[in-house]
C-alpha cells in the first residue's frame, strides 16, 4: 500500500480505524524520501530516527481511545527557517550551517502538540530570499514534474516534498509569494494566511511586516486541517491577532452560488503566458458554472508592487540580518580584530542574493535616501491596501494567475534579478496589504507543467478562500495528478 501518496484526511481516517499505524505511514514516507531525494533534493535534514520515535508515541496516543487531532501520527515537513528544538535549522545559509535551536518555533510546538511526526527540514532560498530555491547555500531543489526546472521559491523544498509524496503535508513561509508561487510550480495547494493569523515566533525573520507562515498540502481539505493547527493567538508574537480563529474545515462543502469573484484586469496584461491565461480563465468559468458571478475590478497600483516590495522588504532584511555577525551563534570567520571578523564572516557566509538585498535595504534607509525611497514606498503600500479595500467592496474574493509563467528552467533568470523579481508580480501585493491568498492547481500546459490559480480574500476571511477553492477542486481532477519519478 502506497501510504505516502495519500492525503492528511485519508490517513487520519485510516489511523482511527486501525487500518494502518503511524509507524507504517512514517516508514513508507521515509522509504519514499530515500528513493527520490537524490533526484529532487527537497531536504536539508531528514529526521528519520526522531520521526519513528514520534510515530511510536502517536500510535500509543491513538490506542488510548482518547479524541485526537486529525494530524496525530501524520508525517510532515518543515521549512528550514522554522526553529526546531534539538534539530539543525540553517535557513539554507552557510552562516547557520551548524545552528541547533534550543527551542521550538510556536508553529512547530503546535504541530508537535497535535501529534504530528516531523520527517525533515526542507530546502529553501537562503533566508527566504528568492523565487526559485536556486539561492540555497547548500543545494538546488528540482521540480518533481520536470527535474530540469525550478520548484519555485522560497519554499521550494516544502512544495517539492509534498508534490513528490516525500511528506504528507508541509509548512512554508510567504513574504512575497513564497508559499503560493512554489505551490503553483509544483501542482499543490499553498495557503498564505492573513498577517497575524499564524505566529511568527521562532521563525527566522526576513521582513517582519510581510512574513507569514502557512501550509502546503495535496488538497484544499488538508490545508484547512493544517490551518486549524497553525492559527491562533500567541503572546510571544506581538503582531499575533488576539481573535480566536474559526474551524477552517467548516467552510468546506459549501455552495458558491452568488459568490462574487473579482477579476482584476491588471492580472491579465502584458507578460502573462497565453496557456496560463487560458487555464485560469477556464477555472473562473468552471466556478461560474457552479453559480459564482464574475465581475471586473481594478488594482491600479499593481504595477508599483514590485518596486514597493523590494524597498520595504530589503529595508527590513538589512535590519533583521544585522544580527548575523559571528557572535553568539552561527558561523564565525576569525580575524585579527572584531571589525574584520564581522566583515569576513558576512562576506564569506552570506550568498549573493542575500548580500544584494542587504545592500539595497541599507541604501534605501541611509541618510539622504530614506525619505526619497523607503518613506515613499510606505506611502504606496498604503495605496495598494486601499486598492484592495475598494476592490472588495465589489466582490467577495479576487481571482487570477499565481504566476505569469509555468516553472522556468534552472539558470534561466539567475543573471537577471529584475526578471526573477517580476515572477512574483501577482503575489507580492497580497503581502503588502496583509491579506489572505491561496494557490491551487488549475491545469497543465502542453509541456505537462502545472499551473496555479490564485484566490485572494480580505483580512481574516480565509473561509471564503476555502469555500471557493474546495468547490473548484471538487469539480476537477487536477489535484489528483502525480509526477512520475
Which of the residues are catalytic? 79, 154, 178
Distance CA(336)–CA(343), nearest Å, equals: 12
In a 3-state reduction of DSSP, which class is residue 119?
Answer: strand
Nearest in space to 29 (alpha carbons), one of 114, 115, 119, 111: 119
Distance CA(397)–CA(471), nearest Å, equals: 14
Distance CA(295)–CA(34), nearest Å, equals: 48
The alpha-carbon radius of gyration of the chain (Å, integer) is: 21
Angle at 54 between CA 53 and CA 56, to 5 degrees: 65
440 beta partners: 453
Write down the residue that cell numbers 501529534 correspond to.
115
Nearest in space to 132 (alpha carbons), one of 110, 107, 150: 150
- Separation in Å, CA 464 to CA 177, 244, 397: 19, 17, 7
261 beta partners: 294, 397
> DSSP H helical segments within 259-375, as ranges?
274-289, 305-320, 338-349, 352-365
Amino acid at each position: 500500500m502506497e501510504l505516502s501518496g495519500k492525503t492528511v484526511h485519508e490517513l487520519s481516517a485510516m489511523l482511527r480505524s486501525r487500518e494502518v499505524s503511524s509507524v507504517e505511514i512514517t516508514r513508507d514516507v521515509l522509504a519514499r524520501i530515500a528513493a527520490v531525494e537524490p533526484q529532487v533534493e527537497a531536504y536539508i535534514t531528514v529526521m528519520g530516527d526522531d520521526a519513528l520515535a514520534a510515530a511510536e508515541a502517536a500510535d500509543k496516543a491513538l490506542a488510548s481511545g482518547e479524541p485526537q487531532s486529525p494530524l496525530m501520527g501524520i508525517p510532515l515537513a518543515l521549512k528550514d527557517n522554522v526553529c526546531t528544538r534539538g534539530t539543525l535549522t540553517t535557513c539554507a545559509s552557510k552562516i547557520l550551517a551548524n545552528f541547533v535551536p534550543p527551542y521550538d518555533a510556536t508553529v512547530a510546538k503546535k504541530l508537535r502538540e497535535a501529534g504530528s511526526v516531523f520527517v525533515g527540514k526542507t530546502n529553501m532560498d537562503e533566508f527566504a530570499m528568492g523565487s526559485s530555491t536556486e539561492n540555497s547555500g547548500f543545494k538546488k531543489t528540482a521540480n518533481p514534474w520536470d527535474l530540469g526546472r525550478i520548484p519555485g521559491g522560497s519554499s521550494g523544498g516544502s512544495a517539492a516534498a509534498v508534490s513528490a509524496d516525500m511528506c504528507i503535508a508541509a509548512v512554508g513561509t510567504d513574504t512575497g509569494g513564497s508559499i503560493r508561487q512554489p505551490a503553483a510550480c509544483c501542482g499543490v495547494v499553498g495557503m498564505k494566511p492573513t498577517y497575524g493569523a499564524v505566529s511568527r515566533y521562532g521563525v527566522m525573520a526576513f521582513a517582519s511586516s510581510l512574513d507569514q507562515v502557512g501550509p502546503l498540502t495535496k488538497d484544499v481539505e488538508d490545508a484547512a486541517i493544517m490551518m486549524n493547527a497553525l492559527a491562533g493567538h500567541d503572546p510571544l508574537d506581538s503582531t499575533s491577532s488576539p481573535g480566536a480563529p474559526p474551524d477552517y474545515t467548516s467552510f468546506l462543502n459549501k455552495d458558491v452560488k452568488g459568490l462574487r469573484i473579482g477579476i482584476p484586469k491588471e492580472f491579465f496584461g502584458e507578460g502573462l503566458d497565453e496557456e496560463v491565461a487560458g487555464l485560469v480563465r477556464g477555472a473562473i468559468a468552471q466556478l461560474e458554472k457552479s453559480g459564482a458571478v464574475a465581475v471586473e475590478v481594478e488594482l491600479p497600483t499593481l504595477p508599483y508592487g514590485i518596486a514597493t516590495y523590494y524597498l520595504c522588504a530589503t529595508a527590513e532584511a538589512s535590519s533583521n540580518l544585522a544580527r548575523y555577525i559571528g557572535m553568539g551563534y552561527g558561523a564565525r570567520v576569525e580575524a585579527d580584530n572584531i571589525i574584520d571578523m564581522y566583515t569576513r564572516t558576512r562576506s564569506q557566509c552570506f550568498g549573493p542574493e542575500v548580500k544584494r538585498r542587504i545592500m539595497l535595504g541599507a541604501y534605501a534607509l541611509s541618510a539622504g535616501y530614506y525619505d526619497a525611497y523607503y518613506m515613499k514606498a510606505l506611502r504606496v503600500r498604503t495605496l495598494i491596501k486601499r486598492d484592495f479595500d475598494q476592490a472588495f467592496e465589489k466582490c467577495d474574493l479576487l481571482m487570477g494567475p499565481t504566476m505569469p509563467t509555468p516553472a522556468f528552467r534552472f539558470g534561466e533568470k539567475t543573471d537577471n534579478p529584475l526578471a526573477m523579481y517580476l515572477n512574483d508580480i501577482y503575489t507580492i501585493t497580497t503581502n503588502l496589504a496583509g491579506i489572505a491568498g491561496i494557490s491551487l492547481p488549475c491545469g497543465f500546459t502542453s509541456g505537462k507543467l502545472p499551473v496555479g490559480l490564485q484566490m485572494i480574500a480580505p483580512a481574516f476571511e480565509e473561509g471564503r478562500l476555502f469555500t471557493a477553492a474546495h468547490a473548484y477542486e471538487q469539480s476537477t481532477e487536477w489535484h489528483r495528478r502525480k509526477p512520475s519519478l
